[in-house]
Chains A and B, each alone.
Chain A
């Protein structure tokens, strides 16, 4: 279900035709399947908390936004691995690679 979400985003981004893009997306699906355990559980592999919950750092500092919610977003890389933005921004300062697949890290999208 995560995968189809990603491919929909892709299609909206590039309105011109889906044929070459589709092949590219399929290749990526293979990579996701290899790590399916991580993806299904949606655990941030850095702090080991579910990506939908606040990261360990935000939990420790008990950061909240004006609505009283914890304000800690998820970041997806081009490799489709997801982490807390807080966790990843500390790591990329040292090494700009995805800690799971070692590909160069570039952000695909951010959000909840």
Chain B
């Protein structure tokens, strides 16, 4: 029952409660420590400011040797977020390290919101607007910020 992955996730949760990073929060679902719900608050001084973006994180028994699957539940208009909420972020794929924990994952996603990487786009419209029409990009982002209140 209490596998190494589950024990590690318990430690991640303890660390998240004792030393909470600003602007993110997360907790395991009631009946399954392998599935977490998390919220990232849009970073200040970015068009995402004031948004509350919900995510799910799914771990396997291979955690922390394998990264979890992280997905936005809230709609996020961002160059590195797919239409289904999947996130294109190197540390969740080929640059994963077993030293990362939930707190590190959530803060990395939060900084991705502030600093998109338009060169590896998951949403080509968002990437193009980000590069060529920042006003329109910000308008589209603000629309999801408003949507995130209702979700």
The answer to the question of B134 belonging to the interface, with a C-beta cut-off of 8 Å to chain A, is no
* Beta-carbon contact of B65 and A48 below 8 Å: no
Q: How far is the CB of A45 from the nearest CB of chain B, in Å?
A: 4
Instruction: Name which of B1-9, B45-53, B76-84, B137-145 contacts chain A.
Output: B1-9
Q: How far is the CB of A46 from the nearest CB of chain B, in Å?
A: 5
Pick the contact of A46 from B2, B3, B66, B99 — CB < 8 Å? B99
Q: Which chain A residues lie closer than 8 Å to B8 at the CB level?
A: 47-48, 56
The answer to the question of B119 belonging to the interface, with a C-beta cut-off of 8 Å to chain A, is no
Query: How distant is the Cα of A59 from the Cα of B6 in the complex, in angstroms?
Result: 12
Q: Which chain B residues lie closer than 8 Å to A87 at the CB level?
A: 98
Chain B residues engaging chain A, CB cutoff 8 angstroms: 2-4, 7-8, 11-12, 15, 64-66, 97-99, 101
Chain A residues engaging chain B, CB cutoff 8 angstroms: 45-48, 55-57, 59-60, 87, 90-91, 94, 99-100
